Amino acid sequence: MAINDIHTPVLLERCIELLAPALQKPGAVLVDATLGMGGHAEALLQRFPGLILVGLDRDLDALAIAEERLKPFRGRVHLVHTVYDGILDALEGLGIDEVDGILFDLGVSSLQIDRVERGFSYSKDAPLDMRMDSTSDLTAQRIIAEYSEAELRRIFQEYGEEKLSARYAKAIVDAREKTPFERSGQLVDVITAVTPVAVQRMGHPAKRVFQALRIEVNQELAVLERAIPAALEAVTVGGRIVVMAYQSLEDRIVKKVFAKASSSSAPAGLPVELPEHKPVFTLLIRGSEQATDEEKALNPRATSVRLRAAERLRRVE
């Protein structure tokens, strides 16, 4: 099966439209901070023949697939194995000071969901892994085995926004005393057993717990809190950044950083805004954009997306 048959990039044309004004010049540099299988990267390299692409990803499997996919553009592509909060170090290693565009497509990738053995899906039994980077140490199995009831409750509450977090944490701790958790199916069974039938009718009871575990395993929110400010720092004047988030916790972080970067720093009541207080970025979208109904029908992964974009107006002296 071809990659294009299993991977449809989310909001591809809209991303290209937003980034295009910054990528027209020969030698423009774009960072795809979440390269994945290279769908967005391939389209952008095709659309802009002078574009140089820096692709970052923590997933070695994804990098291997993207490398093969992007072979026709060899010489214009630099791939780096790193988590996206390492963007400035990655650019420094390539001798790049500023970039013209940055794209983030956050969350779990199609590759990670589709490969059952990675353990990201609550609908398929697999080892409790959930690592985006297979070289890292922390797994979902280790969290389930070692975290206290209070720690499990906290991550289910904070990262899954799960109302039954206390109930689930207790059930897991009770169950692991009898049998160690090794597979996702065991965890789903324990969660389902203590979930009221009325709640089960509203959606899969394990969905939020699996989200919370994935975020904890990969430290996704902490990484994002570092990555977005670092990315803004790398953008040149006239350069643009586009971010797609798929759940409210991610989007909240992006919204907060963008709001600060696009606001005046002048003290309240100052009669005249001095140049040094003017906003550094301007927002290209009022609030966030969602996918159209047509795109959601064609690409279910787009259902929950929230897209935000900004352009750098000036450098801070």
147 is in an annotated binding site: no
159 is in an annotated binding site: no
246 is in an annotated binding site: no
119 is in an annotated binding site: no
Q: What SS3 state is found at 3?
A: helix
105 is in an annotated binding site: yes
Termini Cα distance of the chain: 52
Which residues touch 227 (CB under 8 Å, ≥6 apart)? 33, 83, 84, 85, 87, 104
- What DSSP line would sit under 37-60, residue for residue? TSHHHHHHHHH-TT-EEEEEES-H
Give the residue from 129, 209, 127, 131 showing the smallest Cα distance to 164.
Answer: 209
137 is in an annotated binding site: no
- The CA distance from 53 to 140, in Å, is 33
- The CA distance from 115 to 252, in Å, is 29
160 is in an annotated binding site: no
Binding-site residue ranges for S-adenosyl-L-methionine = 38-40, 57, 84, 105, 112
Binding residue ranges: 38-40, 57, 84, 105, 112
